[in-house]
Amino acid sequence: MAKKHIDEATGVETVGHEWDGIEELDNPMPRWWLWSFYACIVFAIAYSVAYPAWPLIQKGTEGVLGWTSRGELAKDIASDQARRKPILAALAATPIERLPDNPELMRAAIAGGKAAFKVNCVQCHGAGAAGSSGYPNLNDDEWLWGGDLKSIETTVIHGIRQPGDAKTRTSLMPAFGRDNMLTSQQVAQVTQHVLSLRGKGKPNAAGAQLFADNCASCHGPTGQGSREFGAPNLTDAIALYSNSPEAIAKQINTPSHGVMPAWGQRLDPATIKMLAAYVHSLGGGEDFQEAAPEVNNTPAVETHGQP
């Protein structure tokens, strides 16, 4: 033990350490401090009795008040569900065509759809709904199956190429090259013609003729596409896959066919309406032109090599 050292000026004992000539006085603490400390201990004990606190081997102590964070969460979820109930009921009762008449419900639907999209749709269409090669961009003004609320809802419910759903959207592009419907020279000619529809490539009579014979039934005589068959517009700037000659030739030879789940089997109608409203709100949504085309299941061309 170090010798007791008394500070001369104050007559108080020092704690016995020295830092660069500075010594610390060992003044007593105020007594209320001690009481505050005891009060903290009492509080801590009371708290750990009242609330879940001590980890045991299997589980923790539960606390006499019965409070749990999980219970708190369940309460929050229940109250949120109660809050959403009238909105969901109103959504379920409103045909989607009537949704725009009720701007407040529409806003709620868009907000809910945004959340549902983040859970169900971003895996293919991306977080910003911008898609990627083969997955349509939902922000733009090109629609394979129609961009009004009703058409979008139908697409979401029945999906694309869903064997279990009789009303699913199906478009089928034949594998012209692989199935020997066109020779490779002919594929090249059609490719040039398709490019020329966008003002690129070399317009050629042979390609035009082949297009009229093989492609116009779905894509239309001028290549403007058809929503009835989900056939993309070939004259605009947006390509589902790519605008390069190689990609076009590949699509003619061995086409890719997109699929999308039939969400009607997995999500409730209100959620699907919300999703449709959200996708419609992204900037490319269309007004109702006429009655939305009924789902068409009849392939326009004899199918070869159906998946």
Partner 1 sequence: MANLDPSPATATAAHPDKGAAAPEHRLYAKREPVFNRRIDGPFRRFKWFVMVVTLAIYYATPWLRWDRGPYAPDQAVLIDLANRRFYMFGIEIWPHEFYFVAGLLIMAGIGLFLVTSAVGRAWCGYACPQTVWTDLFQHIDRLIDGDRNARFRLYKAPWGPSKIARRLLKWAIYLAISFATGGAWILYFADAPGLMRDFFSGNAAPVAYATVAILTATTFVLGGFLREQVCIYMCPWPRIQSAMLDEKSLIVTYKNWRGEPRASVKKAEKNPGQFGDCVDCNQCVAVCPTGIDIREGPQIGCITCALCIDACDRVMKDIGRPRGLIDYATLEDCKREQAGEAPRPVWRSLMHTRTLVYSGIWAAIGFAMLFALGTRARTDITVAADRNPPYMLLSDGSIRNAYTVKLRNMQNRPRDMKIALDGLPGAVMWTDDMPREKAVRDLIRKVPADTTDVVRLYVVAPEGTVPQEYGFTVQSLDEAAETDRSDIRFEGPETSQ
Q: What's the N-to-C CA distance of the chain in angstroms?
A: 90
| Least gap, CB of 238 to partner 1 (angstroms) | 5
Instruction: Flag whether 1 is marked binding.
Output: no
301 touches 218 (CB < 8 A)? yes
| Least gap, CB of 32 to partner 1 (angstroms) | 7
Residue written as tokens 């007004």? 287
Give the CA distances from residue 102 to residues 20, 105, 231, 283, 285, in Å, rounded to whole numbers and listed in that order: 77, 5, 33, 19, 17
Q: Pattern of binders to partner 1 over 114-153, x per CB under 8 A? A: ------------xxxxx------x-xxxx-----------
Confirm or reject binding of residue 2 to partner 1 (CB under 8 A).
no
CA distance 228 to 209: 23
242-281 binders of partner 1 (CB under 8 A): 243, 281
Task: Pick one of 120, 135, 181, 236: the residue that binds partner 1 (CB under 8 A).
Answer: 236
Tell me if residue 59 falls in helix, strand or coil: coil
Instruction: Flag whether 121 is marked binding.
Output: yes
CA distance 97 to 60: 53
Confirm or reject binding of residue 233 to partner 1 (CB under 8 A).
yes
Confirm or reject binding of residue 39 to partner 1 (CB under 8 A).
no
CA distance 229 to 143: 12
14-33 binders of partner 1 (CB under 8 A): 26-33
Residue written as tokens 């639907």? 109
Annotate 101-150 with DSSP letters as a single string. Answer: G-HHHHHHHHHHHHHHHHHHTHHHH-TTS--BTTB--SSSS--SS--SHH
CA distance 298 to 192: 29
| Least gap, CB of 269 to partner 1 (angstroms) | 25
| Least gap, CB of 201 to partner 1 (angstroms) | 13
Residue with Cβ nearer partner 1 (11 or 307): 11
| Least gap, CB of 233 to partner 1 (angstroms) | 7
| Least gap, CB of 282 to partner 1 (angstroms) | 9
Residue with Cβ nearer partner 1 (142 or 228): 142
Binding residues: 121, 124-125, 173, 215, 218-219, 260
Catalog residues that contact partner 1 under the rule CB under 8 A.
Answer: 4, 6-13, 26-34, 126-130, 137, 139-142, 233, 236-238, 243, 281, 283
